[in-house]
Structure 1
């Protein structure tokens, strides 16, 4: 089953059931990465490509003032 199909199926549910699915997915995400620092394989690849092309700005390079 593709991601799009699952998303479409959730959209067909009544609003209260959609909320239940949302809360369950949120719980799964927080269990997997509670501080939102992990990358999926696709995110890792895109980050490495961006770093190789120097499309990434390091946090130390930002003037926060």
Structure 2
């Protein structure tokens, strides 16, 4: 029983981390450093759309984690 509770807590925590990083840090650009990193690696011209795309994929990851 305790193992199931711990598993649920860890699953929710990991999902929330993916959700926060995807939505707040990348899609809403509350942490501009993420977009700067993408710009440094892949070019400034594509930084914004690629950062948003990465954020959306991270949100999908959170949904997948929550669904499992």
Class of the TM-score when normalised by the shorter of the 2 chains: 0.3 to 0.5
Normalised TM-score (structure 2): 0.33
Q: Which has the higher contact order (CA 8 A, sep 6+)?
A: 2
> Is the helix fraction higher in 1 or 2?
2
Question: How high is the TM-score relative to the length of structure 1?
Answer: 0.34
